[in-house]
Amino acid sequence: MNFTSSLLRTSPKLISSFLSHTQRRTFTMATMQSPLFTQQVVKAMQTLYPEPLADRTWDNVGLLQENFTTSSSPTSPTSPIILLTNDLTPSVAQEAISRNASVIISYHPFIFRGVKSITLADPQQRIILLLAHHNIAVYSPHTAIDAAPGGMADWLASMLSSLPGVTTQISTVQPVDTSSLGSQFTGAGYGRKVELSKPVGLGEVVKLYAKGLGGLRHVMVARPKTNPNEQITVKTVAVCPGSGESVLAGVKDADLIITGEMSHHPALKLVMEGKSVLSVFHSNSERRFLAEVLKPQLEGHLGKEVDGLQVLVSEEDSDPFQIVDVEDLPEDMRVQTTV
C-alpha cells in the first residue's frame, strides 16, 4: 500500500466531507467522552509498561491523541482493533483506516515536541488531522517499554541466552527509580549488560541478532583490525534498543555494544579501545518486539474483556533506511534515460 502524494494533500473534497460530517453532529465538551475500548487499551499498556518508567526529561509517552464517543450515542460502535507500529507514518495511518483500527499503539511518539498549530503544511500534522477525521486514538509507550523488566532491553539481552552451551548473567544499565511502582518492576532500566559464561565468536553473535530481529540480511559492524587468522571473541555485551550510545557509555568492560544506531566518532573511539559495535539500524532493533512480545501480551490482557479483539501488526511500517547494491538498484531508483 502506497500513501501517495495525492493522499498526503488534503483535498477540498475531504475538507468538505469533514465539515459536513461534523456539522451533522453537534458536540459539546459535556457530551464528548473517551470510548470504553480506548480506556481499556490505555489501562492495559499502563499496567504492562507504566509511564513513570519513561525518561520524561525528553520523551513524550502516553495517550497522545484521543478519540471519542458522545453521551447521546454512548454505544456507538468503536471497533475493538489495535494496530501496532514502530513509527506512525502517513502510510501506517492510512493502513489503520483501511483495517478499521480505532487505536494505534505507536512505539515512537509521533507528537514529540510542543505543537503551536496544526496545519496541512506539515506531513506529521496531516496525520493528526486524518486520524481525528476517522476518530482513531494514538498511544505511545516508547522508553517505558525500553526500561520495563521483560520489555525491549530485556528482550534484546535475552537473545544471547540462546547461544549453544552458554549461560548468561544480565544486569541493568541506567536503573530507573521504581519506588512508586510494584516490586515486579524492580530492575528496570534503559539498557542491559550481559556477561557470558564463556567467550563466543563475534560472527556467531552477529548471526544470532540478524536472525532474532527478523532475518536481517545486512547489519553494520565496527571492529578492531586483527590478523586474518585471529578470531574476534566477546564475553561481555552491552545492549540497548534504538540509539544506545549515551545509555551504554558507562559500560567500560563490554567487548561488544549492540544497538540500533551509533554515530561515527563514538563508534571509532570504541574500536580504538579494542571493542566492537553491532548496529542494526534504529527501528530494526525494536520492531520485532511488537509482534513477538507486545501483541500476545495485549491479547492476554484484553482478550477476556473485549469481544472481537484484534491486535494487528502494521505491514506498512519499516525502517526508513535500507542498504542498496549500486550495481543492482531497486526499480524505483534506476536512472531513466530519455531520448
Binding site for a divalent metal cation: which residues? 108, 146, 282, 286
Per-residue CA distances from 286 to 163, 197, 198, 289, 329 (Å)? 20, 26, 27, 6, 27
Distance of CA 44 to the CA centre of its chain: 17
Q: Specify binding-site residues.
A: 108, 146, 282, 286
Per-residue CA distances from 232 to 120, 122, 136, 225, 279 (Å)? 52, 47, 50, 9, 17
**Kindly report the CA angle at 258 between 257 and 263, in degrees rounded to 5?**
80
Q: Is 100 left (phi over 0), alpha (psi -120 to 50) or beta?
A: left
Please enumerate in sequence order all residues whose Cβ is within 8 A of that of 85, keeping only pairs 6 or more positions apart, or say none.
92, 104, 105, 106, 107, 290, 313, 314, 316, 317
Q: What are phi and psi of 295, to 5 degrees?
A: -55, -55
> Grid coordinates 567467550 are at which residue?
199
CA distance 298 to 139: 13
Task: Kindly state the cell numbers that stand for 165.
Answer: 552451551
- The 3-state DSSP class for residue 79 equals coil
CB atoms < 10 A from the CB of 283, how many?
22
What are the strands of the beta sheet with 220-222, ordered from one edge? 168-175, 189-201, 233-243, 256-261, 276-279, 220-222
Please enumerate in sequence order all residues whose Cβ is within 8 A of that of 329, keeping only pairs 6 or more positions apart, or say none.
none
Task: Kindly state the cell numbers that stand for 36.
Answer: 470504553
Task: Kindly state the cell numbers that stand for 137.
Answer: 486514538
